[in-house]
């Protein structure tokens, strides 16, 4: 019998992986996500129409945990965009693979991202979302590598400042592997 999720070691052994050290533990992530959700709840107090827009695939675990802690009515939709292929560096080209179906005009939009790295994806998405005339557009990211200070849409809420290492776990992947890890770890090699 395997130990419950979040206990760690068995998960790393389950993948034939060069996973390095744990950077943010499952417990630390859980605490920070609940704090962020409380801040988001307070920020949108009195606003009627909040759409939480998750950037897939990387944000799905973070988004699921975050919205369970937000103490107000919300709608959820997703956008799929990618600037990574099978490598560890952005290709520089953003591909929109799925466009959200929820109407955005006049709504408060909270874009949820797993990690801000080069900023290429966020910049492209911010431009596209602003064209839809939302009442407001804010960004929430689990991790920020602080490599893109010129972004037109800076995150209002950030879980953690991230090291420059290539990170996996808690939704972040390398070639679709490691998303299931309940913590964030550096990838060795």
> Active-site positions?
117
Task: Measure the CA dihedral 76/185/28/12, to 10°.
Answer: 90
Closest to 148 in 3D by CA, of 184, 187, 114, 118: 118
The three-state DSSP-derived secondary structure of 21-90 is EEEECHHHHHHHHHHHHHHHHHHCCCCCCEEEEEEECCCHHHHHHHHHHCCCCCEEEEEEEEEECCCCCE
Closest to 36 in 3D by CA, of 187, 186, 156: 156
What residues pair up with 157 in beta bridges, in sequence order?
140
Q: How far does Cα 170 stand from its chain's mean position? A: 9
Alpha helices in 75-161 (DSSP H): 120-130
**What residues have CB less than 8 Å from 106, skipping those under 6 apart?**
49, 133, 134, 135
């Amino acid at each position: 019998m395997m130990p419950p999720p979040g206990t760690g070691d068995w998960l790393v052994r389950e993948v034939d992986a060069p996973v390095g050290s744990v950077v943010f533990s499952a417990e630390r992530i859980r605490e920070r996500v609940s704090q962020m959700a409380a801040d988001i709840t307070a920020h949108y107090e009195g606003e009627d129409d909040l759409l939480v827009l998750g950037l897939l695939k990387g944000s799905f675990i973070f988004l699921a945990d975050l919205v369970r802690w937000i103490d107000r009515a919300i709608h959820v939709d997703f956008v799929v965009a990618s600037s990574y292929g099978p490598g560890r560096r952005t290709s520089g080209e953003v591909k929109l693979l799925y466009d959200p179906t929820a109407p955005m005009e006049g709504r408060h939009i909270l874009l949820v991202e797993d990690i801000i790295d080069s900023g290429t994806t966020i910049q492209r998405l911010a431009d596209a979302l602003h064209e839809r005339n939302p009442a407001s557009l804010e960004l929430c990211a689990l991790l920020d590598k602080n490599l893109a200070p010129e972004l037109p849409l800076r995150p209002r809420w950030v879980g953690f400042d991230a090291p420059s290492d290539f990170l996996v776990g808690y939704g972040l992947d390398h070639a679709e592997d490691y998303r299931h890890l309940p913590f964030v770890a550096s990838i060795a090699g």
